Amino acid sequence: VRVVADLEALSRAAAAEFTRRARAAIARRGRFTVALAGGSTPARLYALLADPCRPWRARIRWDRVECFFTDERDVPARHPDSNVRTARRALLDRVPIPRSRIHPVRFEGRAPAAPGTGGGARTGSAARRARRAALRYARVLRTAFDLPPDGMPRFDLVLLGLGADGHVASIFPRRGARRSPGGLVAAVPAPGPGIPGGAHARVTLTLPVLDAAAAVIVLVSGASKAGALSSALGRRRSDRPATLLRPSRGRLIWIVDRAAAGRRRPR
């Protein structure tokens, strides 16, 4: 657990860790596989990685980076709630990463967008569309990682944020997608109000995929996350998915700011 002063310091620490791991993976195997987090916390990290005036951009061979997403909402790619939109605007459109190495989650068969809605969807078809998108994304992973039928992708790095309710990616308390047997990617119904982008069904990497990573970095900023962070780092078992993160052969790194850490001492 690394406690830093604020979101800017958190983003710089994460940029340094991202760069170190990217360089090591590319030196060792010629590529760096990363699953980008959704939500708003990582946006500053993405901007720092893309900024030519900062030390990190030039140190990464972007043509060797293979980029995936921990989860995505069922919205058009230009919708403000789209995770790929956040990543493209802050990072992916600003670094020389080949388009073929960016793997967004694709929701097909979207209902025609009503004027000004950015693309709505009928409820029944939303669940079916999310299931199809999850199956499709699992195939993308199997191909990109050259997996056998029951194989598990091992990302060099998974980036996560933390929801105030303890969710990570789109794995919510008391929902599926946590230990989907053999499932790499799960469809999740719209989590509802109170969750950012809660109006949309989602697709998410499952907990076994997160746990298989060589490194998981969870970025936690703000007092609203203090309860979920304390629970995740505490001894008490709970149904909050963040408390279940257990990379079996990898590093779990929490980079948190003081507002989220509460009384936890800097380390």
Residues within the interface to ligand 6PG (CB under 6 A): 37-41, 70-71, 83, 161-163, 167-170, 196-197
Rounded Cα–Cα distance for residues 227 and 137 (Å): 32
Rounded Cα–Cα distance for residues 106 and 250 (Å): 28
The CB-of-219 to ligand 6PG minimum distance in angstroms stands at: 7
Rounded Cα–Cα distance for residues 3 and 182 (Å): 35
Rounded Cα–Cα distance for residues 35 and 178 (Å): 17
The CB-of-144 to ligand 6PG minimum distance in angstroms stands at: 20
Task: Give the contacts of 73 (CB within 8 A, at least 6 positions apart).
Answer: 38, 79, 81, 82, 83, 170, 197, 200, 201, 202
The CB-of-127 to ligand 6PG minimum distance in angstroms stands at: 18
The CB-of-88 to ligand 6PG minimum distance in angstroms stands at: 15
Rounded Cα–Cα distance for residues 12 and 96 (Å): 21
Rounded Cα–Cα distance for residues 233 and 17 (Å): 20
C-beta closer to ligand 6PG: residue 162 or 256: 162
C-beta closer to ligand 6PG: residue 28 or 179: 179
C-beta closer to ligand 6PG: residue 66 or 165: 165
Rounded Cα–Cα distance for residues 48 and 163 (Å): 23
C-beta closer to ligand 6PG: residue 38 or 183: 38
The CB-of-63 to ligand 6PG minimum distance in angstroms stands at: 26
C-beta closer to ligand 6PG: residue 26 or 86: 86
The CB-of-256 to ligand 6PG minimum distance in angstroms stands at: 12
Of 110, 112, 94, nearest to 102 by C-alpha is: 94
C-beta closer to ligand 6PG: residue 50 or 190: 190
> Which residue's Cβ has the minimum distance to ligand 6PG?
161
Q: Output the CA torsion sign for 32, 33, 38, 41.
A: negative
